[in-house]
Chains A and B, each alone.
Chain A
Amino acid sequence: MSLSPSSGIGRYYKHSAKIIRFVRLGCTNRPFYHVVVMERRKNQHQPVIEQVGTYDPMPNQKNERLVSFNFERIRYWLGRGAHLSTPTAELLGIAGFLPIHPRTYMTAWRNRQKVAEDGTIEAKDPVEA
């Protein structure tokens, strides 16, 4: 059986908890995240079961943050009872796939408050891994 292009080499245990989470790739001072499905108990740099997306937290030249999701596989894994890490849940909320995560509302509210206080825009990264 041929593997799908995103399949990792992580072993799949039927009854262990799976989680959809970020893996920090990229290098020093230049974060880049893969959204992967892996066993919950494992360290992020261990082999993953499948990659289901990417997230580039640094804005590009046109001032946009790029996110990509393999929604079909995410739906599948959520149906299999996979857990979600908070940053992933936030991103999926921003993407309109899930309801907006409470933490996103919190950051939005705090940012607005800050702007009202000193009039400067010093927003933090909304999705912190």
Chain B
Amino acid sequence: MFLRQIYNYANLRASFHALQRAASSTGNTGTASATLLYNRDPQPRFTDPETQKLLQSMTQLQLEKIFQKTTVPDNSVDYKLMTMDMLEDEFRKSIERAKNRLQMPPVVQMKKDERRIISNDSALSGFSDTKYVITDITYGLRQTERKVVVRQTDGTLEHAPMEITKRMHQLYFPLTGRSIRTPRMFADEHLQRCLDEQKYLFILNRMVVQFDPFEPEFHTISSRVYQHINETKQFDILRSTRHFGPMTFFFAWHRCIDDLLYDMVRRDYLQNAAELIALLYKLHDMEPNYKNILKQIDEIKPKEDLALKELEKALKRASSDVKEDIQSAIGKTQVDFELDDLCLPFIEDYISKHALKKVQLELATQTIKEINAEKRQLFEGISKAHGVA
């Protein structure tokens, strides 16, 4: 009996905290209302193959970033003696691994928690002083198929709310890295501190493990992080990670791509900038001509073997070709210049028609135009001097 009193006390305290939280969340509605959420189901648009292709292309596959040193328990290195074929094979495998790591977490609609009553038996009311939570632990079931039901003290049998279901799944079939209680870092004040320290990857990686994509917390936290990134303009932290795609999708969905576009233009990722605009047009059915430019980009872009290229780079072979020397000196190829010519008018068209930060973007495009023109002149001059057509 005494124990039960303690439990009741704990319950009271928990509910008090919940009340406090509710009060504080209503208190700062200014920030709460600013949290952008998906107003309808984004999943069909997100899983669309064309969108996926755009997002993957914008994410970029930078191997140094994907395989950068992390704090893992085992950092040992294997040394092996290999033939060229084996080495090539190994490089291909590591590219596949990198692509796997860039697998994007899905963007789906938030799930609503509704009460689903199975049976109502008034003769049972008061049969117990606590409710019963019953979990099906049959082997080989998927998490979504696993039933969790609650028998309330008034005799009602109902499906458990999402919070209890998740807790029971974690209790009987634990997921490594996920904890039963929500980590404190996701509480408002701690999250704000993490954001201020710009630990975006840390938050997002932990969030992906802790919450399912359909949970409200997943949506609110990711939205907060993305908006904070949009304010601090640290897009490069997420580039070439699995969170870049969802972030871009979020910005395009909520029509706030201008900062990201500026960043892309400034870093001379003009193709990505064009893709971003195309994504915006696609999501909001704005201008149908974006398909042409994507097709043209596809046609111009050579299908290069990334694995082979990396292998060559790693072996540091003395390149026999003068052309390659010139390219590596300038950092751009003939194809890149052609792509720039294709993308720039498209970007300028967007800036003049739809952009909100017109002046800033126009300045950036002008600068990049001048730099590229200079580079092009240099490229052509050197090519001519070496007698390469």
Chain A nearest Cβ from B118, distance in angstroms: 6
Q: What residue of chain A has the Cβ atom nearest to residue B136's Cβ?
A: A71
Tell whether, in the assembled complex, residue B155 and residue A108 are in contact, meaning their CB atoms are under 8 Å apart: yes
A96-B151, A105-B123, A108-B123 are contacts. A67–B135 as well, Cβ < 8 Å? Answer: yes
List chain B residues, Cβ under 8 A from A5.
139
Tell whether, in the assembled complex, residue B135 and residue A59 are in contact, meaning their CB atoms are under 8 Å apart: no
Q: Would you give the 0/1 interface string for A62-79, flagging 1 where the beta carbon is closer than 8 Å to chain B?
A: 111111111111000000
Among candidates A4, A62, A115, A122, residue contacting B11 with C-beta atoms closer than 8 Å: A62
Q: Is A121 an interface residue (CB 8 A)?
A: yes
Q: What is the bound-complex CA distance between A61 and B164, given in angstroms?
A: 13
Tell whether, in the assembled complex, residue A61 and residue B124 are in contact, meaning their CB atoms are under 8 Å apart: no
Q: Is A126 an interface residue (CB 8 A)?
A: yes
- Among listed B125-133, B188-196, B275-283, interface-contacting one: B125-133
Q: Would you give the 0/1 interface string for B131-166, flagging 1 where the beta carbon is closer than 8 Å to chain A?
A: 111111111000000000111000101000000100
Q: Is A123 an interface residue (CB 8 A)?
A: yes
Q: Which of A101-129 contact B (CB under 8 A)?
A: 104-105, 107-109, 111-112, 115, 121-123, 126
List chain A residues, Cβ under 8 A from B125.
108, 112
Tell whether, in the assembled complex, residue A63 and residue B11 are in contact, meaning their CB atoms are under 8 Å apart: yes
Chain B nearest Cβ from A24, distance in angstroms: 18
Q: Is B14 an interface residue (CB 8 A)?
A: yes
Q: Is A100 an interface residue (CB 8 A)?
A: yes
Q: What is the bound-complex CA distance between A60 and B129, given in angstroms?
A: 12
Tell whether, in the assembled complex, residue B137 and residue A69 are in contact, meaning their CB atoms are under 8 Å apart: yes
Q: How many residues on chain B are close to A (CB under 8 Å)?
A: 37
Tell whether, in the assembled complex, residue B126 and residue A69 are in contact, meaning their CB atoms are under 8 Å apart: no
Among candidates A59, A67, A69, A107, residue contacting B127 with C-beta atoms closer than 8 Å: A107
Tell whether, in the assembled complex, residue A66 and residue B133 are in contact, meaning their CB atoms are under 8 Å apart: yes
A66-B171, A67-B132, A70-B139 are contacts. A58–B126 as well, Cβ < 8 Å? Answer: no
- Among listed B2-10, B68-76, B106-114, interface-contacting one: B2-10
A94-B151, A105-B124, A108-B126 are contacts. A63–B131 as well, Cβ < 8 Å? Answer: yes
Q: Which of B1-42 contact A (CB under 8 A)?
A: 1, 3-4, 7-8, 10-11, 14
Among candidates A61, A65, A72, A95, residue contacting B149 with C-beta atoms closer than 8 Å: A95
List chain B residues, Cβ under 8 A from A68.
134-137, 172
Q: What is the bound-complex CA distance between A63 and B13, given in angstroms?
A: 12
Tell whether, in the assembled complex, residue A64 and residue B133 are in contact, meaning their CB atoms are under 8 Å apart: yes
Tell whether, in the assembled complex, residue A112 and residue B130 are in contact, meaning their CB atoms are under 8 Å apart: no
Q: What is the bound-complex CA distance between A63 and B3, given in angstroms?
A: 11
Tell whether, in the assembled complex, residue A96 and residue B157 are in contact, meaning their CB atoms are under 8 Å apart: yes
Q: What is the bound-complex CA distance between A79 and B118, given in angstroms?
A: 25
Q: Is B64 an interface residue (CB 8 A)?
A: no
From DSSP, what is the main secondary structure of chain B's interface residues? Answer: mixed
Tell whether, in the assembled complex, residue A96 and residue B119 are in contact, meaning their CB atoms are under 8 Å apart: yes
Chain B nearest Cβ from A120, distance in angstroms: 11
Tell whether, in the assembled complex, residue A70 and residue B137 are in contact, meaning their CB atoms are under 8 Å apart: yes
Q: What is the bound-complex CA distance between A5 and B149, given in angstroms?
A: 24
Q: Is B197 an interface residue (CB 8 A)?
A: no
List chain B residues, Cβ under 8 A from A65.
128, 130-133
Q: What is the bound-complex CA distance between A111 and B150, given in angstroms?
A: 20
Q: What is the bound-complex CA distance between A54 and B124, given in angstroms?
A: 23
Q: Is B321 an interface residue (CB 8 A)?
A: no
Tell whether, in the assembled complex, residue A104 and residue B130 are in contact, meaning their CB atoms are under 8 Å apart: no
Q: What is the bound-complex CA distance between A105 and B122, given in angstroms?
A: 10
Q: What residue of chain A has the Cβ atom nearest to residue B163's Cβ?
A: A62
Among candidates A61, A94, A109, residue contacting B7 with C-beta atoms closer than 8 Å: A61
Q: What is the bound-complex CA distance between A111 and B128, given in angstroms?
A: 8
Chain A nearest Cβ from B14, distance in angstroms: 7
Tell whether, in the assembled complex, residue B137 and residue A126 are in contact, meaning their CB atoms are under 8 Å apart: no
Tell whether, in the assembled complex, residue A94 and residue B134 are in contact, meaning their CB atoms are under 8 Å apart: yes
Among candidates A59, A66, A123, residue contacting B126 with C-beta atoms closer than 8 Å: A123
Q: Could you name 14 residue pairs across A and B whose Cβ atoms are closer than 8 Å?
A: A59-B7, A66-B171, A67-B134, A68-B136, A68-B172, A69-B135, A70-B136, A95-B132, A95-B151, A96-B134, A96-B151, A100-B121, A111-B127, A121-B129
9 extra A-B contacts, CB within 8 A, seeds A59-B130, A64-B164, A115-B126: A4-B139, A59-B129, A65-B133, A66-B168, A67-B132, A67-B133, A68-B135, A104-B124, A112-B125
Q: Which residues of A contact B (CB under 8 A)?
A: 4-5, 53, 58-73, 94-96, 100, 104-105, 107-109, 111-112, 115, 121-123, 126
Q: Which 10 A-B residue pairings sit nearest by Cβ, starting from the closest?
A: A108-B127, A72-B138, A95-B134, A126-B128, A123-B129, A68-B135, A59-B130, A111-B126, A67-B134, A68-B137
